[in-house]
Structure 1
Amino acid sequence: MRPLTQLPRHFVRLEIDIWVSLARALTRRPDIAGGTPIRYAGAVSAFFWAFLVISAVEIPAVHLLIPWPPVQLIALILGAWGLLWMAGMLAAHHMYPHLLTDEHLRVRYLRRVALDLPLADIRAVRNDLRAYDGPKTLQLTGLNDTTLAVILGSSTNIRIDLIDPRTFHTPHGDFTASTVAFWADDPQTTVASIRAAMVPDRAA
């Protein structure tokens, strides 16, 4: 659990990330320089779009139902802020995909979580659909907590086994793991692309 003293800083950073992501989406500048994007937003896009449509209908409806102008204004401001915030969250999932370069795989979640895996350090990669409990985006799992899962929609579908354990520094703390699991919208193509980029004798 995140210490209470860190919560204000966490929410401020999240708010900044949301607005930066929305600005990137409006200017069509996804953060994909130097690599091939691996998309993961498909797992949650339907939820965000449903929320946005419902909110777009709800804002004028609430405005008509409330008879007091000051309350109408407050409701309008809160409704518009919520609509833009969720649009920013949707944008963040699209603007910061995983990235595959000639030298490493970067597993990401939104703007702040990025796990850099040198391709030379990867022992094996495979499809592996798994479900998880709890709200945490990052979880250490396994009998000895050796798998670091970057969870989306309560699931991961790709598993990366490393030659040796690595320590990853994240906004949620430091995690040491020998396996990394994450979600990709097209897992078969993703696994094939990673294997093609790996050292030949480790691509199987």
Structure 2
Amino acid sequence: MRPITQLARSFVRLEVDIWVSLARAVTRRPDLGGGAPMRYAGAVSATIWAFIVVSAVEIPAVHLLIPWPAARIVALGLGAWGLVWMAGMLAAHHMHPHVLTDDLLRVRYLRRVGLDIPLSGIRAVRHDLRAYDGAKSLQRTGPGDETLAVIIGSSTNIRVILTEPRTFHTPQDDFTVSTVAFWADDPKAAVASIRAAVGDRAV
């Protein structure tokens, strides 16, 4: 029963995230936490937009093809929900970017993942493109390369090497790692910003 319960909780949490993000998008209130954003939505925006367009075309097509009124209403409701859900997923990627403040780097994925890395705990940061297998947005690699990867579009392109291993609490599990990898739409600008914020310690 536990896996089913965890799956149900994950679904409810994602549903809440979608609607909160959609509300933020409508009111133009991205969750920046007082810092400068580093976007990652560009890696998946085209794919999500494709689903939105297909869903928008599918709703009237299904309405015309189904001859039974009751089935038509059900299909219309499901289609409208799916369309809004995909719009919310797009909003979630845009409304919750990575954030760089005066004190820390917050690496994020939607509302569900937020890895707070104090700038004083960063030893090095570099542009490093890597691909990952699997559908999980959060993966740990190792042994020998203790990295927690926050994956967008099956890839990461920035690696932050920590001064010492650090434990991150996530919805998936607690991970103790010495490196964090993530995706940024403009990795060169992101690396430059982090290095500038950290100062001479980062290479």
Counterpart in 2 of 1:198? 198
Residues 127 and 159 of structure 1 are in contact (CA less than 8 Å); yes or no, is this contact kept in structure 2?
A: yes
Counterpart in 1 of 2:107? 107
Name which of structure 1's ranges 4-13 and 80-89 shifts more when overlaid on structure 2. 4-13
Find the aligned partners of 1:33 and 1:118 in 2 and give their Cα distance.
15
Q: Which runs of 4+ in 1 moved over 4 A?
A: none
Counterpart in 1 of 2:181? 181
Find the aligned partners of 1:9 and 1:33 in 2 and give their Cα distance.
26
2:186 counterpart letter in structure 1: D
Find the aligned partners of 1:143 and 1:132 in 2 and give their Cα distance.
16
SS at structure 2 position matched to 1:176: strand
2:202 counterpart letter in structure 1: A
Could you state the TM-score of these two structures normalised by the residue count of structure 1?
0.96
Counterpart in 2 of 1:172? 172
Counterpart in 2 of 1:82? 82
Structure 1: which 5+ residue stretches go unaligned? none
1:127 counterpart letter in structure 2: H
Find the aligned partners of 1:43 and 1:142 in 2 and give their Cα distance.
25
Residues 42 and 185 of structure 1 are in contact (CA less than 8 Å); yes or no, is this contact kept in structure 2?
A: yes
Kindly provide the CA deviation profile for residues 138-175 of structure 1, in whole angstroms up to 9, marking residues without a partner as x. Answer: 11113335000000100000000001000000111101
Find the aligned partners of 2:22 and 2:97 in 1 and give their Cα distance.
15
Name the Cα RMSD after superposition. 1.1
2:24 counterpart of 1:24: yes
> Matched residue pairs, number?
202
Find the aligned partners of 1:187 and 1:49 in 2 and give their Cα distance.
23
Counterpart in 2 of 1:12? 12
Find the aligned partners of 2:74 and 2:126 in 1 and give their Cα distance.
51
Find the aligned partners of 1:102 and 1:145 in 2 and give their Cα distance.
28
Q: CA deviation at 1:112?
A: 1.7
Find the aligned partners of 1:203 and 1:102 in 2 and give their Cα distance.
15
Find the aligned partners of 1:12 and 1:58 in 2 and give their Cα distance.
26
Kindly provide the CA deviation profile for residues 167-192 of structure 1, in whole angstroms up to 9, marking residues without a partner as x. Answer: 00011110110000000000000000
1:58 counterpart letter in structure 2: E
2:157 counterpart of 1:157: yes
Q: CA deviation at 1:10?
A: 1.1
Could you state the TM-score of these two structures normalised by the residue count of structure 2?
0.97
Seq. identity, %: 75
Residues 120 and 199 of structure 1 are in contact (CA less than 8 Å); yes or no, is this contact kept in structure 2?
A: no
